[in-house]
Amino acid sequence: MVSKSFRAAINEALKLEMRRDKTIIVLGEDVAGGRGGSANVEEAWGGPFGMTRGLYKEFGPTRVLDTPITESAFVGATAGAAMTGLRPVAEVMFVDFTGVCFDQIMNQIAKIRYMFGGKAKLPLVIRMLYGAGYRAGAQHSQCLYPIYTHLPGLKVAIPSNPYDAKGLLIAAIRDDDPVLFFEHKAILGMKGEVPDEAYEVPLGKANIVRAGKDVTVVAIGRMVHMAEKAAAALAKEGIDCEVIDPRTTSPLDTAAILASVRKTGRLVAVDEAYPRCNMATDISALAAQEAFSSLRAPVRMVSPPHVPVPFAAPLEDLYIPNADKVAEAVRATVKYTPSS
Amino acid sequence: MQQSRDELLKAYRVMSRIREFDERLHVEFATGEIPGFVHLYAGEEAVAAGICAHLTTRDHIASTHRGHGHCIAKDCDVNGMMAEIYGKEAGLCGGKGGSMHIADLDKGMMGANGIVGAGTALVCGAALSAKTLGTGGVAVAFTGDGGSNQGTVFEAMNLASVWSLPAIFVFENNGYGEATASEWALAGGDIVRRAHAFAMPGHQVDGNDYFAVWDVMRQATERARAGQGPSLIECKTKRYYGHFEGDTQNYRAKEEIETLRAEKDCLKHFRARVSEAGLIDAGAMDAIDAEAKAEVDAAVKAAKAAPTPPASALMTDVYASY
């Protein structure tokens, strides 16, 4: 196997799927780039982060469509196109920008199938960058996947590594339901083993990143790496963590999470999203309701404080959950005794 | 006249069925048996009929909250529509949509829509499919004077123009967005002037004149099918009922509706035109009215008697894969 970056894995998944199925189109702001500019190039950027570079050259203007800055129109268009025979993959540069097309996602894409009594299929994917750590400020650093996880009718994929990025994206493109696909901007350069051929990582199947017996640590997206780092440190202290990456928050692999919590009796839920109504609270509630008698300590949540993402580097570093905070929470659950 | 007798009969049948359908709903809604919100199309029939006369199943439309007319004009089954409005399992959407979400993709009907202006973006997608897959189809977005001020609508018109899509934006300017007059809410006064900003032809017609609507839609459809891009059509019309059933309508004078019915009625206008031209006699149109009445009556009776969805339907149709 070859080591590839997260970015390359995404790019490869798009290319392989577009070669396989001619109804797949890619659309978004600057997905080719350079249209109408003074340099007169056909393909300039492949998106500001280069995620779609090379697609325009191979698949041309009918399948790789630059859009004006117009999220409502082109995200809504994915629904209309998906209902009528195409399989669109849209790129909304940053998840923060879905504020302007929220209606199309929430009221149209998520509900059309149900409102139509199952008579519509919406095979579409919306790819978005998310997450803090880029010194990008409050409007380019959010997670927001809890909002979309909240909405029935949507699937939500949040790969934590290049292998999953490729496999989950291929699964998302082949899926007949709308999938919101989250790519953390701080791990785009991260490398990992990625097979050259097409493969699927199924939506709704968690990954046991590290097996352990003392504490279950559920972490999402970039936070998986914080959890792994914490687990490595804690192992030296004799604390054996089981790290679970749900990979998708909708559907959520509740069975894998609950099986682990029943085994370890302790849960730490790690989520980079704002702390109210995020995936950590959701997973904690799941454990409280379904595995209460197995719990030997109160569930702990590791999330940022309830503030917008700050710009200044020391503040942003303080904001983002890290391995130390995860380790601290794990230690607290291990040390807990009912009388304490 | 450019239309054959059969085409004209078909158009009259569409208008007559819409009128009967919504006039009857007005009566039935008052009994309390119909759940939720119902927005009636009566008075605006010539728009739906004139626009959809140019469309077949390969063409798509996206409708509005006031969608019954568009559904009937796009050949949706009246029994299925009525059952849907009553929230019954036999409804076009299994009772999960209701009046504001009637859809039938087999007929190219992409749904009524509870969000003002939202369908314009969906239509960009359907038009993109038609263009990319080479179906020869066009996609038509209906919206209103209210929708004409929505950001999504501007975005959709711009995108359709930039991508040169076979899309047609039909604005039913019925004078009121809910209770607020379009004369007050619409900067610039006329929706049609906005076409210029998006580099597409704009047509403004009397929406009560089937023939005028038909003619501009012919031009817009020809242009779209020839790959020349989108058009905008503003149809000036008025609704006979309130924004929704139960609306007290104290924002408009009683005489306004009386005058409309007496002097501007689109069915009366149509009847006069084809009678004067000696194309269709009144008896043939009366027969169509009688058929529509019987059809709608049967649909109401069937819908009332039909079973509601079973509890098991609650959890189905959320996802295609499970």
Q: How confident is the model at residue B1 (pLDDT cuts 50, 70, 90)?
A: low
Distance CA A167, CA B199 (A): 43
| Contact yes or no for A36/A42 (Cβ under 8 A) | no
B112 touches A at CB < 8 Å:
no
Here the tokens at position A116 are: 């139509």
Residue recorded with tokens 């002097």: B263
Here the tokens at position B235 are: 């149809």
Contacts of B227 in chain A (CB under 8 A): none
| Contact yes or no for A111/A122 (Cβ under 8 A) | no
- Residue A200 DSSP one-character state: -
DSSP letter string, A253-300: -HHHHHHHHHHHS-EEEE-SS-STTSHHHHHHHHHHHHSGGG-SS--E
Q: Name which of B156, B147, B71, B65 is nearest B108 in CA terms.
A: B71
A152 to chain B: closest CA residue: B318
Those of residues 158-177 in B touching chain A at CB distance below 8 A are 158-159, 162-163
Here the tokens at position A308 are: 């917008």
User: Could B121 and A108 be called an inter-chain contact, meaning their C-beta atoms sit closer than 8 Å?
Assistant: yes
**Average pLDDT, stretch B259-278?**
96
Burial of A117 (0-12, 13-18, 19+ CB in 10 A): buried
Contacts of B152 in chain A (CB under 8 A): 72-73, 76, 103-104
Q: How far is A53 from chain B (nearest CA, A)?
A: 21
SS (HEC) of chain B: CCCCHHHHHHHHHHHHHHHHHHHHHHHHHCCCCCCCCCCCCCCCHHHHHHHHCCCCCCCEEECCCCCHHHHHHCCCCHHHHHHHHCCCCCCCCCCCCCHHHCCEHHHCECCCCCCCCCHHHHHHHHHHHHHHHCCCCCEEEEEECCHHHCHHHHHHHHHHHHCCCCEEEEEEECCEECCEEHHHHCCCCCCCHHHHHCCCCEEEEECCCHHHHHHHHHHHHHHHHCCCCCEEEEEECCCCCCCCCCCCCCCCCHHHHHHHHHHHCHHHHHHHHHHHCCCCCHHHHHHHHHHHHHHHHHHHHHHHHCCCCCHHHHHCCCCCCC
Instruction: Specify the pLDDT at position A39.
Output: 83
Helix axes B282-305, B78-85, angle to 10 degrees: 40
**Average pLDDT, stretch A283-287?**
98
B274-288 burial, b if ≥16 CB within 10 A, otherwise e? beeeeebeeeebeeb
User: Could A81 and B158 be called an inter-chain contact, meaning their C-beta atoms sit closer than 8 Å?
Assistant: no
Helix (H) or strand (E) holding A317: helix A313-319
Instruction: Specify the pLDDT at position A43.
Output: 83
Q: How far is B309 from chain A (nearest CA, A)?
A: 11
pLDDT, greater one: B189 or A330: A330
Handedness of CA A82, A85, A87, A93 (dihedral sign): negative
Q: Three-state SS for A218? A: strand
Distance CA B114, CA B65 (A): 5
* Percent of chain A surpassing pLDDT 70: 100
User: Could A72 and B129 be called an inter-chain contact, meaning their C-beta atoms sit closer than 8 Å?
Assistant: no
Q: How confident is the model at residue A339 (pLDDT cuts 50, 70, 90)?
A: confident
Q: What angle do CA A221, A226, A228 make, to 5 degrees?
A: 100
Q: Which residues pair with A217 in a beta bridge?
A: A243, A268
Instruction: Specify the pLDDT at position A40.
Output: 73
Q: Name which of B167, B78, B152 is nearest B116 in CA terms.
A: B152
Q: Name which of A25, A44, A28 is nearest A36 in CA terms.
A: A44
Distance CA B174, CA A22 (A): 43
- Indicate if the pLDDT at residue B56 is higher than 60: yes
| Contact yes or no for A181/A26 (Cβ under 8 A) | no
Q: How confident is the model at residue A42 (pLDDT cuts 50, 70, 90)?
A: confident
- Indicate if the pLDDT at residue A81 is higher than 70: yes
**Average pLDDT, stretch B198-212?**
98
Q: How confident is the model at residue A1 (pLDDT cuts 50, 70, 90)?
A: confident
Q: How confident is the model at residue B154 (pLDDT cuts 50, 70, 90)?
A: very high
CB nearest to A86's CB, from B91, B92, B128: B128
Instruction: Specify the pLDDT at position A147.
Output: 98
pTM higher than the cut 0.90: yes
**Average pLDDT, stretch A199-220?**
98
Residue recorded with tokens 């063409």: B59
Residue recorded with tokens 């048996």: B33
A64 to chain B: closest CA residue: B132
Helix (H) or strand (E) holding A327: helix A323-335
Handedness of CA B54, B58, B64, B66 (dihedral sign): positive
Catalytic site residue A150?
no
**Average pLDDT, stretch B249-273?**
95
Instruction: Specify the pLDDT at position A34.
Output: 83
Alpha carbon A32 to its chain's center: 23
- Residue A309 DSSP one-character state: P
pLDDT (tens digit, 9 = 90+) per residue, A149-167? Answer: 999 999 999 999 999 999 9
Q: How confident is the model at residue A336 (pLDDT cuts 50, 70, 90)?
A: very high
pLDDT (tens digit, 9 = 90+) per residue, A230-274? Answer: 999 999 999 999 999 999 999 999 999 999 999 999 999 999 999
Q: How confident is the model at residue A35 (pLDDT cuts 50, 70, 90)?
A: confident
pLDDT (tens digit, 9 = 90+) per residue, A108-127? Answer: 999 999 999 999 999 999 99
Contacts of A70 in chain B (CB under 8 A): 155, 158-159
A250 touches B at CB < 8 Å:
no
Distance CA B229, CA A108 (A): 25
Those of residues 41-80 in B touching chain A at CB distance below 8 A are 60, 62
Helix (H) or strand (E) holding A80: helix A71-83
- Indicate if the pLDDT at residue A340 is higher than 70: no
Instruction: Specify the pLDDT at position A37.
Output: 85
Residue recorded with tokens 């942003």: A316
* Percent of chain B surpassing pLDDT 90: 98
Q: Mean pLDDT in chain B?
A: 97
- Indicate if the pLDDT at residue B167 is higher than 60: yes
B195 touches A at CB < 8 Å:
no
